[in-house]
Amino acid sequence: MKVAIIFGSKSDTEKMKGAANALKEFGIEYKAYILSAHRVPEKLMETIQNIENEEYECIIAGAGLAAHLPGVIASHTILPVIGVPINAAIGGMDSLLAIVQMPKSIPVATVGINNSYNAGMLAVQMISLKYPEIKEKLKKYRINMKQKFIKDNEEGVEL
């Protein structure tokens, strides 16, 4: 079970680490790529083909500004693509709208602006449908999260 993480610029590295962290928590293998739909489209197409040949489960794609990367990837694969809008201008709204407003039949699942951790978690949920061991880890994760919240609430907080 493998997930590809693709983003358009080295400057996006910090914002995309959350996806890798979520996947690591569940022992899911991943590989990160810096590829641009505009600057190296041929290399992007070659990489998508390799990802499909190597039987990855899904692709997480982060992009800012025009944010075409997730949509271009989705148009060249039948693997699920999870888009991460990156705040590069106007609060990331340009990226969010570019990713979420895809044409009919070329869907891109979309998470919140700069929220690559949730992209990783969505990939985990997708993978859990096929791998029972991941499903069990995910159930335990949710129980632990709930217990931590209850404990934090019981301990209270001073304002």
Compute CA distances 119 → 103, 154, 155, 158, whole Å: 21, 30, 31, 33
* Domains, the chain: 2-131 (3.40.50.1970)
- Provide the token pair at 4: 């590809």
Query: Is 152 one of the annotated binding-site residues?
Result: no
- Please tell me the distance from the alpha carbon of residue 81 to that of residue 142, in angstroms, as a whole number: 24
- pTM score, two decimals? 0.94
pLDDT along the chain (159 residues), means of 10: 97 97 98 96 98 98 94 98 95 95 97 98 98 98 95 86
Question: Which amino acid is it at 135?
Answer: K
Nearest to 71 by CA among 107, 118, 33, 30: 107
Query: Is 12 one of the annotated binding-site residues?
Result: yes
**3-state helix vs strand vs coil in the chain, percent to 5:** 55, 15, 30
Query: Is 39 one of the annotated binding-site residues?
Result: yes
Place of tokens 């602006």: 113
Please tell me the predicted confidence (pLDDT) of residue 107.
98
Nearest to 63 by CA among 42, 43, 85: 85
CB atoms within 10 A of CB 94: 17
Compute CA distances 63 → 49, 56, 115, 148, 159, whole Å: 20, 20, 12, 33, 38
- Please tell me the distance from the alpha carbon of residue 115 to that of residue 112, in angstroms, as a whole number: 5
- Provide the token pair at 112: 């919140």
Please tell me the predicted confidence (pLDDT) of residue 66.
84
Please tell me the predicted confidence (pLDDT) of residue 80.
99
- Provide the token pair at 30: 């991943």
Please tell me the predicted confidence (pLDDT) of residue 124.
99
